[in-house]
Amino acid sequence: MSLTLEEVRRVRFRMARPRETGYAVADVDNFIDKVEESFAAFENDRDLLRRELESAGTNTGGADNSAELNEARAAIGAKDQELESLRAELERARQEASQARQEADNAHAQVSGRVDEQIEKLNAANQELQRRNAELEAQNEQLRSQLETTRTELNQARNDRITNAGGQPQQITVHAAEDAAPAVTRLLQMATDQASTLVTEAETEAARKIADAEQRATEIKTDARTRAERIESEARVNAEQMTSEAEARASVHAVFGLLNSTPHIGRTGALPGRTAMATLLHRLARGAFAAAEEATVTDVSGQPG
């Protein structure tokens, strides 16, 4: 099925991805097939018209036939001239597409180098995080050991205070039976006060060490989580950028395939105008060039340069 001039003017390609340059490969391939059919049909019609013209010039004569032959020759000459103009436009568009492909190749090389560099940095950061994680595990284990030691020392100190309080009685002289009860009460109060003071001091020290350990563990976890999220974000951006670059290169190759195809044209009455065909070819080349330019100016972090 050949294309008409109106169909050429109305042709629109879907974008490969929303809000990005580069056309969908399937749409471009379908349009290439239709253009090739149109070119083939036009050449067949032109060859048939020439054979009929030559046959008419050989088998007939007279002024009337001569006028018809001249008119037919003029029509063929006009179509040949239009075909040459289209070929010139096609050659110019081919040069633009070649330049766009070169830009795309250069952009791909630059982006590949940056991606490799970022991958190396990410691997180094990952190794650093693993090393920090191992250090944090060792520090946590050390803190747990210190906490257990502190608890053991607390229990030992408490027992020592109680033993000392019980083993070394205060020098209290009791002169009468009625003085014995207050003396015992005082001793018990002194032992209780000493034990309470010891327990309070030990608990305060343990709470401080536990709070320090928890704060350190929270800071370490926060830092590790932040680094992990940053690495994940950078990896996602790199994956999306590489996908976009691959789609842009596919669009460039699709356009270059169109420009390298053998130029043909459609049946009489279905020929696209020179201006319309040139405009379409230029639009395809510009779309590929824009895709290459965007891939060049986009850095690995996914932010426009």
**Residue 298: strand pairing partners:** 304
Residue type, 259: L
Looking at residue 174, what is its pLDDT? 47
Tell me the per-residue pLDDT of 263-297, one tens digit each, with 9 for 90 and over.
Answer: 544 444 444 555 655 566 666 666 655 655 555 55
Q: Which residue ranges in the chain fall short of pLDDT 70?
A: 1-29, 31-33, 35-36, 38-39, 56-65, 82-83, 85-101, 103-104, 158, 161-184, 187-188, 247-305
147: nearest Cα among 95, 217, 83: 217
CB atoms within 10 A of CB 225: 10
Looking at residue 230, what is its pLDDT? 85
